């Protein structure tokens, strides 16, 4: 991609500041559309540098129990892809700088219509996509069209991505590389920071892109440890658990919901800022 995106600019700014970034994941429409938008608007002020928005899907095979539950809450509240894009547009009315990445599965995009989705996502203010069930062999399906529309396509690398596979994974990746710090589903185990630091260094031997590390990071202390060897730390399950824990007995948002999420983001951001960024 020849034109710098919001993601490119944000990571360049982080490098200038000499620190790692905080990437926060929330599910669109969880626990309801209005509260979800309020949470989204609160994230940058609380310290989020990049925001990933989960696209709810009925069969989220890579997600752990917390994010699966958040997707169910969103779908039951009537969340659709059109509402997700509308939420991004509403966010952009007050924030034209924070990068937004849509994360999820290909089925909702395919059902929407791939070309229509890419046009609408770009117009709404989306900056990048993470689609976990499209391998590099299917780049013609979505990755290359997304790049043509000016959207970063962010690929996952995992502990099982070996030296032979890694160059293929990185070939059309842009924006940043998302390193999955554990094998298995999201939010179920804590990462091994020593192994993560070594894995990030290995990836950086193959690419100049920033490397963000996620899956299993829940506390400021873990965030600080990961930030010592990565360009960004991704937190998702812990945030959607804050949503769940703030709901009333009927599963509805309370006056604590937005503050609960923002409060954890502030603590995580402080942890990330206490870490040390490895020079790119």
Please give the helix or strand (H or E) that residue 198 lies within, else none: helix 193-204
Q: Is residue 279 part of a domain?
A: no
Residue 248: CATH number of its domain = 3.20.20.70
Distances (CA, A) of 263 to 48, 71, 130, 231, 254: 11, 22, 26, 23, 15
Say if 142 falls within a structural domain.
yes
The pTM score is: 0.94
Domain that holds residue 266: 6-274
Domain presence at residue 47: yes
**How many other C-beta atoms are found inside a 10 Å radius of the C-beta of residue 13?**
13
User: For residue 280, is it within any domain?
Assistant: no
Predicted pLDDT of residue 181 = 84
Active-site annotation holds for 120? no
Residue 204, domain member (yes or no): yes
Considering the candidates 8, 30, 32, 52, report the single residue annotated as catalytic.
52
Q: Which of 172, 181, 178, 179 is nearest to 151 (CA)?
A: 172
CA distance 201 to 280: 10
Into how many domains does the chain fold? 1
Please give the Cα distance from 53 to 24 (Å, whole number).
Answer: 8
Name the catalytic one among 63, 120, 127, 242. 63
Average confidence score pLDDT of the chain = 93
- Write out pLDDT tens, residues 94-145: 999 999 999 999 999 999 999 999 999 999 999 999 999 999 999 999 999 9
Query: Catalytic: 133?
Result: no
The token pair that represents 32 in the structure block: 């309801």
Confidence band, pLDDT 50/70/90 cuts, at residue 185: very low
- Is 137 a member of any domain? yes
Domain-embedded: residue 236: yes
- Evaluate whether residue 1 is within a structural domain: no
pLDDT tens sequence across 141-156: 999 999 999 999 999 9
């Amino acid at each position: 991609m020849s034109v710098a995106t919001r993601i490119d600019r944000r990571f360049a700014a982080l490098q200038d500041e000499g620190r790692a970034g905080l990437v926060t994941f929330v599910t669109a429409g969880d626990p309801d559309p209005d509260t979800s938008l309020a949470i989204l608007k609160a994230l940058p002020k609380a310290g989020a540098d990049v925001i990933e928005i989960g696209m709810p899907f009925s069969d989220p095979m890579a997600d752990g129990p917390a994010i699966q539950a958040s997707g169910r809450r969103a779908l039951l509240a009537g969340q659709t892809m059109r509402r997700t894009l509308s939420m991004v547009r509403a966010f952009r009315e007050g924030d034209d700088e924070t990068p937004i990445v849509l994360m999820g599965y290909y089925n909702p995009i395919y059902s929407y219509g791939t070309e229509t989705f890419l046009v609408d996502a770009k117009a709404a203010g989306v900056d990048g996509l993470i689609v976990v069930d499209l391998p590099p062999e299917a780049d013609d399906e979505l990755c290359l069209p997304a790049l043509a529309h000016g959207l970063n396509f962010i690929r996952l690398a995992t502990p099982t991505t070996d030296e032979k596979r890694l160059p293929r994974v990185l070939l059309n990746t842009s924006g940043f590389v998302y390193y999955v710090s554990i094998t298995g589903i999201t939010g179920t185990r804590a990462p091994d920071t020593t192994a993560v630091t070594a894995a990030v260094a290995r990836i950086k031997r193959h690419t100049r892109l920033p490397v963000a590390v996620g899956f299993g990071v829940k506390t400021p202390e873990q965030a600080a440890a990961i930030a010592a060897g990565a360009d960004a730390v991704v937190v998702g399950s812990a945030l959607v658990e804050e949503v769940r824990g703030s709901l009333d007995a009927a599963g509805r948002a309370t006056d604590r919901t937005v503050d609960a999420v923002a409060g954890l983001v502030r603590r995580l951001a402080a942890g990330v800022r206490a870490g040390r960024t490895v020079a790119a």
